[in-house]
Chains A and B, each alone.
Chain A
Amino acid sequence: MNTEFITNIGLTHYLVLAALLFVIGMAGVLVRRNVIVLLMSIELMLNSVNLTFVAFSKYLGILDGHIMVFFVMTIAAAEAAVGLALAVSIFKRFNEVNIRFFEHLKG
């Protein structure tokens, strides 16, 4: 039995971990009702991408990936800010953060 997979942590592991995180984030977006949790799930997805970037960067031996992570983090921060602002304004207006409440636009 080839045990290298278990003993040597390599690129694959990072990628699998990132993929798992991505899927978890995705699942969070799909099933959670709370806007704030939704935001967090999206952040999780972005962070899994960051992990991928870093892993690849390390694997390829170039620094570009690390730089990109900074970019992504910045944007994720902006996104979070906008998202929270939206959430706050919505909560102020409707007293509600359950997204099932927002189904007026349909059909």
Chain B
Amino acid sequence: MILSSIVFLPLLFALLIAIWPKANTIRHLALGLSLIEFLVSLSIFKHFDASATGLQLVEKFMWIERFGIQYFMGIDGISLWLVLLTTFLTPIIILASWTSITERIKGFHVCMFILQTAMLGTFLAMDAIFFYVFWELSLVPMYFMVGIWGGARRIYATVKFFIYTMAGSVLMLVAIIYMMYLTQEATGQMSASLLDFYKLQIPFVGGTFFSLQTLLFFAFALAFAIKVPAFPVHTWLPDAHVEAPTPGSVILAGVMLKMGTYGFMRWVIPLFPEASEYWAWLFMLIGTVGIIYGALVAMVQPDVKKLVAYSSVSHMGYILLGLFAFNAYGMGGGLYQMLNHGISTGALFILIGMIYERTHSREISKYGGLAGVLPIFTIFFFIITLSSIAVPMTNGFVGEFFILLGTYQANPVFAYFAVSGVVLGAVYMLWMFKRVFFGEQGELVKDEHHPLHDLNAREIAVLVPMVIMVFWMGLFPNHFLNYSKASIDYLVNNRSNYNLTIVQPGAVDVTHAQGEN
């Protein structure tokens, strides 16, 4: 019941908040509830077996028998950290939004918790339709979050976000249904279970686009690529990020983008091994182009938030590159980079939100000399910048190193190009840092009528966990990778006949038991 409670507790919390009578304590309540959720999610470790390759803590019931759709949740090394990332970020986001969200507080927190359920469900659902329900559901609260609490062009941004992602995922739905029929053909029993999907042998013909596996592969890949977002379907992201309120940006960058890369790991690569191998060059190319393109475009953005948004495009390009390297380094690095990006870009958005609350501007050219005025803020910003540009001993380095190593092993040419991202990443971040924090004091910083005040205790409390994670993950990556190693190795080595088993000490798989009787 652990996974169910992790997924659906937030929904319960959302209801609780919706009926909570006192408006002035909603924030405290939400913070407390999100912390409870985090603690509950930590309890996974009590039962998690890091050495097992299969699905653990499985919960499996028939939901829609007619179509073999199951209520099926499970966790393994791939989803473990993403789940924890989600539960870890939520209390931080709620605390960070303490003063930035001033109206419709109740609605905001309800959205937040529904979103949490949707994201956790996406990571844990092991049934295609069950997964799709969460996947699409996650759009709705995000849509409201950007649309209601966002900036000036919020409506354009949020509609663009919704339509883009929706357009990507509908073809996936068709593909899922098609695969359900394939399972029926193969076993006589229709099923939407991911485990049954894995067992399918989908015919693949190289050299043509119109082979079944390739078509299904692209139907899935498009949905995930838009979510990632990979070049050239990334343009919804900058708009969504810029217009989203701080918590929205954080959750978007921190968790929602990972739903795309997670989709590649969980769905695309093991389901369509031949096609993904055949088209790996394309996705490595997309990843590489994304890295360079995102970095170049980030460099010339006049708006800090847009800069960070494009940097996300660049960072997510790394992850895509790593995943399609098809070796333990690339995959492991990719998974690790997902967490890193969640932490560091999330923190960057929080920081930008903090300064925006003070000056109500994100225009780089209006800043300057901030380091002298807000030293604590500067220190935090600098640490996160380091993490973002992957300086060793911060988390970013570990992920980037492994990704590039894996890429080099898979195809050196891509590594040669991708490595330029290391330089360009430093260029856009440090150039921005220089223009905002160094030099003479800009018009916003100088303003004597409204002297800027440095971070208060709450804001420091928001950032400290992030900074701790930056260094913890940078110095002791094994603490994290050890839990994922078995799953990643299994994925890498058994890609072409991927077959997750259910590992659940003490519990008996019902269908299996029947077979024995």
- A–B contact at 8 Å CB threshold (below): no
Residues of A participating in the B interface, judged by any CB pair closer than 8 Å? none
